[in-house]
A and B are shown apart, each in its own frame.
Chain A
Amino acid sequence: MGNAVIRFDQVSKRYEGGHEALSQLTFEVAKGEMAFVTGHSGAGKSTLLKLLALIERPSHGHISLDGQSLAKIGQSGIPKLRRNLGMVFQDHRLLMDRTVFANVELPLVIGGIAPLERGRRVRAALEKVGLLDYERQLPASLSTGEQQRVGIARAIVVKPTVLIADEPTGNLDPQLAVEIMGLFAEFQQIGTTVLIASHDLPLIKRIKKRVIVLDHGRLVADVSAEEVL
């Protein structure tokens, strides 16, 4: 498959002193595709995403991202990789002493974008998540769902090819969760490849996207969007 953006080939991960968190995992995600990774707690969902962001390295196997072999990226190449990867976390990881604007701006500062251009792009991102009026506020004054949306704006402001999210709706009520997932689906529609780890099966079924099911680190099912009931 030529247009695979994420490719796992016989990937295993054994944490130091632990059992195998992932074993011989092989799958691909095509460009512009949106997929869920699900499974029980400890199945290896977070580990899979950490391998993509080079927070962890695989013990065996081969991973490539956007045509680039991750094994060839050294310690000094990691920042550059992450700058082109949008990441959303369950606990949003916002800097609580900076405004919403400053939080979303941060990846652009890191990317060395000039202030004027930064302002334009931050507002575009905030508009997309519906938080344009909140740019001067501190994250603490926002609701949990709004904070998560700021986290998403920060992830997409760099226009990443790949967007990964680990339990992005874990702290949200069902209604908000559907809203956030809808937001991810919108980014998929503009060409971003989206990979979301979630254990919330009812929610996943409502979204109707591809689902990769893990069990004790093994891939046990790969259900295409059309097959989701």
Chain B
Amino acid sequence: MSTPNEAQTAARTERSQRRPVSSWREHHGWSAANSLRRLASKPVGSLLTIAVMGLALALPLAFYLLLSNVQSLGDALGRNQVINVFLKTDQVASNAQLLAKKIEQHDGVANVTVKSPQEGLDELSKMQGFSDSLHALDNNPLPYVLLVQPQDGVSADTANQLVDDLRNEQGVDVVQDSGTWRQRLDALLGVGNRAVLILAGLFALAVLLVVGNTVRVDITSRADEIGVLKLIGASRAFVRRPYLYAGIWYGLFSGVLAVALAIAIEFALADPVARLSQVYEGKLHVGGLPPWLLLAVPVAAAVLGWLGARLVSAWQLRRAA
């Protein structure tokens, strides 16, 4: 070493010339790597914590997946379903044609097909077991039927209005509409969606608590180390930073685990859903998890982990001081 004064002056200028940005980067890089090393140094405990958090996050995801499948099933079955309008038996062909023309002008109607009693009878007689009993009838008991096809993506209000108007038409006996069960399904889906949100909120809270407790235990067991760090000049932020990173790592890894579990569930469901889709002539497009969600879950979990660690470490480090 050079002369004492030179050495000290050099040390001092070195300190003052150091750019704060690079020092910030050093601190964060060191804390991130260090906290990761700590997690790896007790793999069983870390993995268990991550597994618990991952499962907690996967549950709402699985529920969401189920719900979105039911929803698309409902869409495939319910929307644009033909409305059957049965006319009274005293209605003749001209009445039926007239009414069909009128209905075609109605809001939300794509087209109207008239099915005569004879066509109805022909259809029935093609079905096995019916033909014999039908021959026994003297005259055709079937009414005219109007098949009303709603427009694509017509709103529920318009559809309801349409059905109401059809019921009030002269000469209409019965209106058969799939809208009622569709409404019930929609209401049920609404409940389900809300339930997913509540579930996600509760499990997010659980994740927060798990991270918080893990960090609390960690800080307690490292009281000596924290004391040493303070004695050699570590700021509060420096002491705290590895715990915040630990929270981020816990969150991130559990988020990735949750997404992996959800994808596994999606695969497990893929086969039966494909079969279901065939039954509905491929109308059923099964929605998996959207890509943005696969990215958002780990990020959100990391933020949650950071938040949990932040809340607890502030309080716990103040207690340790």
Question: What CA separation (Å) do A229 and B75 show in the bound complex?
Answer: 101
Which of A107, A114, A161, A192 has a CB less than 8 Å from the CB of B232? A107
Question: Contacts A110-B232, A112-B18, A159-B11 given: A191-B3 contact, CB under 8 Å?
Answer: yes
What's the least CB distance linking A10 to chain B, in Å? 27
Which B residues lie within 8 Å of A81 (CB)? 233
Question: Contacts A112-B22, A190-B1 given: A79-B7 contact, CB under 8 Å?
Answer: no
**Seed contacts A85-B233, A114-B26; 5 additional CB < 8 Å A-B pairs:** A79-B233, A79-B234, A79-B238, A112-B20, A191-B4
Which B residues lie within 8 Å of A106 (CB)? 229, 232
Interface mask (B234-247 → A, CB under 8 Å = 1, otherwise 0): 11101000000000
Q: Which of A84, A87, A159: most chain B Cβ within 10 A?
A: A159
Q: Which residue of chain B lies nearest to A97 when distances are taken between CB atoms in the complex?
A: B41
Q: Within B18-35, which residues are at the interface with A (CB < 8 Å)?
A: 18, 20, 22-24, 26-27, 30
A53 engages B5 (CB within 8 Å): no
A109 engages B30 (CB within 8 Å): yes
A53 engages B231 (CB within 8 Å): yes
Which A residues lie within 8 Å of B230 (CB)? 79, 82
| 8 A-B residue pairings within 8 Å (CB atoms) | A32-B4, A79-B230, A94-B228, A109-B26, A110-B235, A114-B26, A159-B7, A191-B3
Question: What CA separation (Å) do A89 and B224 show in the bound complex?
Answer: 14
Q: Within A54-89, which residues are at the interface with B (CB < 8 Å)?
A: 55, 79-85, 87, 89
Which 9 A-B residue pairings sit nearest by Cβ, starting from the closest?
A191-B4, A112-B23, A83-B233, A82-B233, A159-B11, A79-B235, A79-B233, A93-B228, A110-B234
Interface status of B218 (Cβ within 8 A of chain A) = no
What's the least CB distance linking A58 to chain B, in Å? 19
Which B residues lie within 8 Å of A190 (CB)? 1, 4, 7
Interface of B is mostly: helix
Q: Which of B4, B18, B22, B224: most chain A Cβ within 10 A?
A: B4
Question: Contacts A79-B235, A82-B233 given: A114-B22 contact, CB under 8 Å?
Answer: yes
A80 engages B231 (CB within 8 Å): no
What's the least CB distance linking B83 to chain A, in Å? 74
Q: Which residue of chain A lies nearest to B234 when distances are taken between CB atoms in the complex?
A: A110
Q: Which residue of chain B lies nearest to A102 when distances are taken between CB atoms in the complex?
A: B34
Question: What CA separation (Å) do A177 and B250 show in the bound complex?
Answer: 46
What's the least CB distance linking A162 to chain B, in Å? 11
Which A residues lie within 8 Å of B131 (CB)? none
B238 engages A82 (CB within 8 Å): no
A82 engages B231 (CB within 8 Å): yes
What's the least CB distance linking A128 to chain B, in Å? 9
A192 engages B233 (CB within 8 Å): no
Interface status of A95 (Cβ within 8 A of chain B) = yes
Which A residues lie within 8 Å of B41 (CB)? 97
What's the least CB distance linking A55 to chain B, in Å? 8
A82 engages B24 (CB within 8 Å): no
Contact count band on A: 20 to 34
Interface status of B95 (Cβ within 8 A of chain A) = no
Which residues of B pack against A, CB within 8 Å? 1, 3-5, 7-8, 11, 15, 18, 20, 22-24, 26-27, 30, 41, 224-225, 227-236, 238
Q: Within A149-170, which residues are at the interface with B (CB < 8 Å)?
A: 154, 158-159, 161
Which A residues lie within 8 Å of B20 (CB)? 112
A107 engages B26 (CB within 8 Å): no
What's the least CB distance linking A122 to chain B, in Å? 14
Q: Which residue of chain B lies nearest to A86 when distances are taken between CB atoms in the complex?
A: B232
Interface mask (A174-203 → B, CB under 8 Å = 1, otherwise 0): 000000000000000011100000000000
Which A residues lie within 8 Å of B1 (CB)? 190
Which A residues lie within 8 Å of B27 (CB)? 109, 112
Q: Which residue of chain A lies nearest to B6 when distances are taken between CB atoms in the complex?
A: A191
A112 engages B24 (CB within 8 Å): yes
Question: What CA separation (Å) do A83 and B229 show in the bound complex?
Answer: 10
Which B residues lie within 8 Å of A53 (CB)? 231
Which A residues lie within 8 Å of B234 (CB)? 79, 110
Which B residues lie within 8 Å of A130 (CB)? none
Question: What CA separation (Å) do A149 and B1 show in the bound complex?
Answer: 19
B231 engages A191 (CB within 8 Å): no
Interface status of A142 (Cβ within 8 A of chain B) = no
Question: What CA separation (Å) do A79 and B224 show in the bound complex?
Answer: 17
Q: Which of B1, B231, B233, B238: most chain A Cβ within 10 A?
A: B233
What's the least CB distance linking B230 to chain A, in Å? 8
Which A residues lie within 8 Å of B229 (CB)? 106, 110
Which B residues lie within 8 Å of A207 (CB)? none
Question: What CA separation (Å) do A161 and B11 show in the bound complex?
Answer: 10
What's the least CB distance linking B242 to chain A, in Å? 11
B232 engages A159 (CB within 8 Å): no
B233 engages A80 (CB within 8 Å): yes
Q: Which residue of chain A lies nearest to B235 when distances are taken between CB atoms in the complex?
A: A79
Which of B11, B26, B231, B235 has a CB less than 8 Å from the CB of A93? B231
